[in-house]
């Protein structure tokens, strides 16, 4: 199978290495900023020849970002070439369009590495939904935020210090906003929910709050009450056909498997009507874990896969008003709403609210943050 590779960074280099050790895959050209850095003289500075080459069966996109990734992937699908991508931003933003392009041109579109890194989450979600009714999905889908929270729980050091450590280790980008503000996990949840529930919700429909303002004092308070904080994504079906979709810091007791997930690992679960709960644990990012799932997608295409994970994309409304959760809130801002919804006070300074919807809580957070930008809140499960 002949392959055109778009991108030769951390993941692209890993894909190149793994394919070089396979008798089934031949990467014939690699689009990158420094073509001379690619072994065998396969580097190119322009993708036009690659996309026009009828001998190339698959385009692998690991360059990241929306542009020019969108334009190149669209051209590949229109040319009837299969596409494998690890780009969750691209798949999430252009979900319906890319899915339709692949179907119209008889091309496979696979993105297993986009959600869960090296975890075979999307392929197992695909298998489950073929013969079962998926009721909900949930989990830790971002290794950077989990590394930060896990380190703070074990070392009780300030957030800024742990973030700097994550950046030195390569877990976090120079601009860590996508990870710590929940944007990365929001995209992964949207893709997962769309496949699980045969819908096409945009990422903006996922109610999202991150961990930027968590403090060591918060973590100490959580531990004193037997809780561990994780940035959790969750989505599920509701009657009569709507779904909920929320990303927010969540306090979990020791009996939750997610509470013990270490370092930059991920744990993603689903519950089917027949199979019950299944969970998938592993490396959520990194050169070889992510490249591994890219190559697994290539193997699936080589073995005859010619489709996306679902062929349905019906409209479903996202309704987060029907959920009810208690919340931990630590703020110096006076709030009549918070006072009227406080169920108990913690000695360390935070309060626990009575059960409210995530919509109501997130709106209250936004209002209180105008007076107290350092506010932190987390759902309590």
- Are 104 and 144 in the same domain? no
Note whether 258 and 328 are same-domain residues: yes
Q: In the chain, where does DSSP find H-type helix?
A: 10-20, 48-52, 69-78, 88-93, 95-104, 121-131, 143-155, 159-168, 177-180, 183-197, 216-224, 287-302, 336-341, 358-369
Residues 50-64: b if buried by 16+ CB within 10 A, e if exposed: bbeeeebbbbbbbbb
- Residue 173 pLDDT: 87
Indicate if 56 and 158 belong to the same structural domain: no
Which tokens belong to 14? 């890993």
- Could you tell me if 66 and 152 lie in one domain? no
What is the CATH number for 172?
3.30.360.10
Terminal Cα-to-Cα distance of the chain (whole angstroms): 48
**pLDDT at res. 92:** 98
> Do 159 and 152 contact (CB within 8 A), yes or no?
yes
Marked catalytic residue, from 188, 230, 277, 371? 188
User: Is 115 part of a structural domain of the chain?
Assistant: no
Residues 140, 103, single domain; the answer is: no
What's the pLDDT at 153? 96
Domain finish residue from 45, 79, 110:
110
Check: CB of residue 209 under 8 Å from CB of residue 180: no
- Is residue 96 part of the annotated active site? The answer reads no
Picking from 110, 145, 177, the residue at the C-terminal end of a domain is: 110
* Tokens representing residue 274 in the block: 């027949």
**324 and 238 part of one domain:** yes
Residue 121 lies in a domain: no
Residues 106 and 152 in one domain: no
For residues 193 and 264, membership in a common domain is answered with yes
Residue owning tokens 């009810």: 324
pLDDT at position 169, please?
85
Provide the number of structural domains found in the chain. 2
CA separation for the pair 322, 319 (Å, rounded): 7
Find the CATH number of the domain harbouring 59.
Answer: 3.40.50.720
Residue 171: the pLDDT is 84
Res 115: pLDDT: 98
Q: What is the pLDDT of residue 240?
A: 85
Residue 222 lies in a domain: yes
Whether residue 168 sits in one domain with residue 42: no
The boundaries of the domain holding residue 10 are 2-110
Q: Please state the φ and ψ torsions of residue 303, each to the nearest 5 degrees.
A: -90, 5
Alpha carbon distance 49, 46 (integer Å): 7
Mean pLDDT by 10-residue block, N- to C-terminus, for the chain (381 residues)?
97 97 96 94 96 97 97 98 98 98 97 96 97 97 96 94 92 92 98 98 97 97 97 95 97 97 97 97 93 98 96 94 98 96 96 98 97 98 95
Do 253 and 373 share a domain, yes or no? yes
Q: What pTM did the predictor assign?
A: 0.97
In a domain, 180, yes or no: yes
User: Is 62 in the same domain as 103?
Assistant: yes
Give residue 131's Cα distance to chain centre: 25
pLDDT number for residue 170 = 83
Q: What's the burial of 33, exposed, middle or buried (CB within 10 Å: 0-12/13-18/19+)?
A: exposed
**Does residue 97 sit in the same domain as residue 241?**
no
């Amino acid at each position: 199978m002949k392959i055109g590779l778009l991108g030769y960074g951390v993941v692209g280099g890993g894909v190149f290495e793994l394919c070089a050790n396979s008798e089934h895959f031949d990467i014939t050209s690699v689009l990158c900023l420094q073509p001379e850095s690619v072994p065998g003289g396969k580097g190119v500075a322009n993708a036009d020849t690659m996309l026009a080459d009828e001998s190339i069966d698959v385009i692998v996109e690991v360059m990241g970002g929306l542009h020019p990734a969108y334009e190149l992937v669209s051209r590949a699908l229109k040319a009837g070439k299969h596409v494998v991508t690890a780009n969750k931003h691209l798949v999430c933003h252009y979900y319906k369009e890319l899915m339709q392009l692949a179907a119209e041109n008889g091309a496979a579109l696979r993105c297993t590495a986009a959600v869960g890194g090296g975890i075979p989450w999307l392929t197992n979600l695909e298998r489950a939904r073929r013969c079962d009714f998926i009721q909900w999905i949930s989990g830790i889908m971002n290794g950077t935020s989990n590394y930060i929270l896990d380190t703070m729980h074990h070392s009780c050091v300030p957030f800024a210090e742990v973030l700097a450590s994550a950046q030195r280790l390569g877990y976090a980008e120079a601009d860590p906003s996508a990870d710590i503000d929940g944007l990365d996990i929001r995209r992964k949840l949207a893709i997962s929910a769309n496949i699980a529930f045969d819908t096409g919700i945009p990422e903006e429909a996922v109610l999202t709050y991150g961990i930027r303002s968590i403090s060591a004092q918060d973590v100490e308070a959580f531990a004193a009450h037997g809780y561990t904080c994780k940035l959790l994504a969750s989505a599920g079906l509701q009657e009569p056909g709507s779904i909920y979709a929320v990303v927010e810091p969540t306090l979990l007791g020791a009996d939750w498997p997610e509470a013990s997930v270490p370092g930059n690992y991920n744990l993603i679960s689903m519950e089917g009507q027949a199979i019950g709960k299944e969970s998938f644990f592993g490396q959520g990012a990194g050169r070889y874990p992510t490249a591994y799932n890219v190559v697994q997608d290539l193997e699936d295409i080589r073995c005859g896969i010619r489709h996306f994970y679902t062929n349905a994309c019906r409209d479903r409304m996202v309704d987060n008003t029907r959920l009810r959760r208690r919340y931990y809130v630590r703020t110096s801002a006076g709030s009549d709403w918070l006072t009227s919804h406080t169920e108990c006070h913690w000695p360390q300074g935070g309060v626990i609210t009575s059960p409210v919807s995530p919509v109501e809580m997130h709106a209250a957070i936004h209002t209180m943050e105008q007076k107290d930008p350092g506010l932190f809140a987390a759902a309590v499960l």
